[in-house]
């Protein structure tokens, strides 16, 4: 009797942890059609909705991060951790995984910790150029660590590191043939330059404020805008959709068309966004969020800007935005350079390469 393969995957909290986890699962499913999959996430986080939508089963742990200031949540943290370790152990005992994969987020800590303790092979997929504390701890026992940036041997055992890149949506690999389709889809004027604004799935307050205060400036430059303002801010900014040169979206479902139609992208610097933008190969202005753990968005953006492949503009420097932007829009050579340089950093076969490593662990 052929024994079936059981694959345990944990990752969540944000789209940046969930979508790579789903991309890895999808690729594994193609290779092992009879495998059983189980995801472990944090209760009340977006993975509890997104993972079942993608067709996979998920169990939730009672876990959250530690806040920077003293809160009730922080006082509950030790109890949440004990509860999560206990429940993760129970899930593993029942599911009997052949391999456990962590893509980051609160739940992956307890899940991989218990998998390591039970001698199950584990793989960490680290998306950022500067890892968080959980992955640093997990790396000591992990069998393989797939990374997207150079120089991570400062944090992880060098013999376990494999540079694969971050999984990205497969429909982005062909965006260069979709420019016309993208412009039609968004009803754009093909004579004008288009700027795509991205602040992550929930939105970014400072980027939204920046765009709002520069609407007249964009108009004077004859720029049209596709503005994903995010779920949290849509009610506040949707009125600007009435302007002829502005489109305000809560969320963009056809990101391939949005990227294909744009000439310049203004974006946060979460790991998934950075990896996508390398494949897309458009000139980018990164405005990293300073409010994330270890300030990793600034470090992600800096690693690209240092290679002359993007412009990094900190939130503290946003008053210089009109000058920076006008220089970029008027200098075609600079845009071309940024475009070529960022494309060279793309790792389009990341998902396949990560799954190759998982397959090695399964064959053990």
Q: Indicate the annotated binding residues.
A: 14-16, 128, 169, 201, 252, 297
Residue set of the binding site for UDP-N-acetyl-alpha-D-glucosamine: 14-16, 128, 169, 201, 252, 297
Query: Which residues sit opposite 261 in a β-bridge?
Result: none
Question: Which residues are CB-contacts of 321 (< 8 A; sequence separation ≥ 6)?
Answer: 210, 214, 313
What DSSP string runs through 25-74?
A: HHHHHHH-TT-EEEEEEETTSTHHHHHHHTT--EEEE------SS--HHH
Query: Which residues sit opposite 9 in a β-bridge?
Result: 39, 101
At 187 the three-state DSSP class reads coil
Torsion sign over Cα 163, 132, 17, 56 = positive
Give, in degrees to the nearest 5, the angle at Cα 291 between 288 and 295.
65
> Which element (helix H / strand E) includes 162?
strand 161-163
Give, in degrees to the nearest 5, the angle at Cα 315 between 313 and 316.
100
Please count the other Cβ atoms lying within 10 Å of the Cβ belonging to residue 227.
25
Q: Are 228 and 249 in contact (CB under 8 A)?
A: yes
């Amino acid at each position: 009797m052929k024994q079936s393969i059981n694959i345990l995957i944990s990752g969540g909290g944000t789209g940046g942890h969930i979508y790579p986890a789903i991309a890895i699962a999808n690729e594994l499913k193609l290779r092992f059609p009879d495998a059983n999959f189980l995801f472990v996430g944090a209760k009340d986080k977006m993975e509890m909705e997104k993972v079942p939508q993608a067709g996979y089963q998920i169990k939730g742990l009672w876990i959250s991060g530690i806040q920077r200031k003293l809160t009730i949540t922080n006082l509950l943290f030790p109890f949440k951790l004990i509860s999560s370790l206990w429940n993760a152990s129970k899930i593993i005992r029942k599911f009997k995984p052949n391999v456990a994969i962590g893509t980051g987020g609160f739940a992956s800590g307890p899940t991989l910790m218990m998998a390591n303790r039970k001698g199950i092979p584990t793989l960490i997929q680290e998306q950022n150029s500067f890892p968080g504390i959980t992955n640093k701890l997990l790396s000591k026992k992990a069998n393989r660590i797939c990374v997207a940036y150079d120089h991570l041997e400062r944090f992880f055992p060098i013999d376990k590191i494999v540079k694969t890149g971050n999984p990205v949506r497969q429909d982005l690999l062909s965006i260069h043939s979709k420019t016309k389709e993208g412009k039609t889809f968004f009803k754009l004027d093909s004579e004008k330059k288009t700027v795509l604004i991205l602040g992550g799935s929930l939105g970014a307050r400072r980027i939204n404020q920046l765009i709002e205060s520069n609407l007249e400036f964009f108009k004077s430059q004859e720029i049209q805008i596709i503005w994903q303002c995010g779920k949290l801010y849509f009610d506040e900014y949707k009125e600007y959709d009435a302007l002829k040169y502005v489109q305000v979206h809560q969320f963009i479902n056809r990101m391939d068309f949005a990227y294909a139609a744009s000439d310049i992208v203004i974006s946060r610097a979460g790991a998934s966004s950075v990896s996508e933008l390398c494949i897309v190969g458009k000139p980018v202005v990164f405005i990293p969020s300073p409010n994330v753990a270890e300030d990793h968005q600034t470090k992600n953006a800096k690693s690209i800007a240092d290679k002359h492949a993007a412009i990094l503009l900190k939130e503290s420097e946003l008053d210089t935005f009109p000058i920076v932007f006008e220089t970029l829009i008027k200098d075609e050579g600079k845009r071309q350079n940024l475009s070529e340089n960022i494309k060279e950093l793309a790792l389009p076969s990341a998902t396949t390469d990560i799954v190759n490593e998982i397959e090695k662990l399964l064959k053990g």
